[in-house]
């Protein structure tokens, strides 16, 4: 949880990427953000392995993978709409379903560029860390596992 807190504190730097004075400044900020995001991903995966009963880990990771896939589809649609505006031609089935569900959100961000996404991205990890902390995840998962002879 401490590493994830550091990552969550670094993620708000993503809002500054669009304000970088030059390409090299944007690259440095993007590198820090990507490293923090990957460290977050590795640690959240470790938390799942530590906290979920051994017989359910595969099921949990399957649900996570499905959610990640749907999230990737949604992000592609959202970012494309933010940068280029509405699609010139109809998308696939899932794109059309997402456009139906998230139509008002897409209309709000249409043609706004990357800046709003970087602001949103800046807040997601700190909010997720607070949800984990308030949800009772303390970071002592490995000691709980040893106590219950899971490891």
Q: 90-148 pLDDT, tens per residue?
A: 667 777 787 788 778 777 778 777 777 777 778 889 999 999 999 888 766 554 554 44
Distance CA(5)–CA(127), nearest Å, equals 11
- Whether the CB-CB separation of 86 and 110 falls below 8 Å is answered with yes
**pTM of the predicted model as reported, rounded to 2 decimal places:** 0.68
Phi, psi torsion values for 9, nearest 5 degrees: -75, -25
Q: What is the pLDDT of residues 11-62, one digit of tens each?
A: 999 888 888 899 999 999 999 999 999 999 899 888 888 888 989 999 998 9
């Amino acid at each position: 949880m401490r590493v994830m807190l550091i990552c969550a504190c670094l993620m708000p730097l993503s809002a500054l990427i669009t304000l970088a004075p030059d390409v090299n400044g944007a690259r440095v900020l993007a590198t820090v953000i990507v490293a923090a995001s990957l460290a977050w991903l590795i640690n959240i995966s470790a938390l799942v392995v530590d906290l979920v009963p051994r017989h359910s880990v595969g099921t949990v990771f399957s649900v996570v993978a499905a959610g990640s896939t749907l999230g990737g589809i949604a992000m592609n649609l959202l970012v494309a709409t933010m940068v280029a505006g509405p699609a010139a031609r109809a998308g696939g089935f899932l794109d059309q379903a997402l456009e139906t569900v998230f139509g008002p959100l897409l209309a709000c961000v249409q043609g706004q560029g990357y800046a709003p996404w970087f602001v949103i991205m800046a807040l997601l990890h700190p909010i997720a860390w607070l949800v984990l902390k308030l949800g009772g995840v303390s970071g002592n998962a490995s000691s709980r596992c040893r106590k219950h002879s899971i490891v």
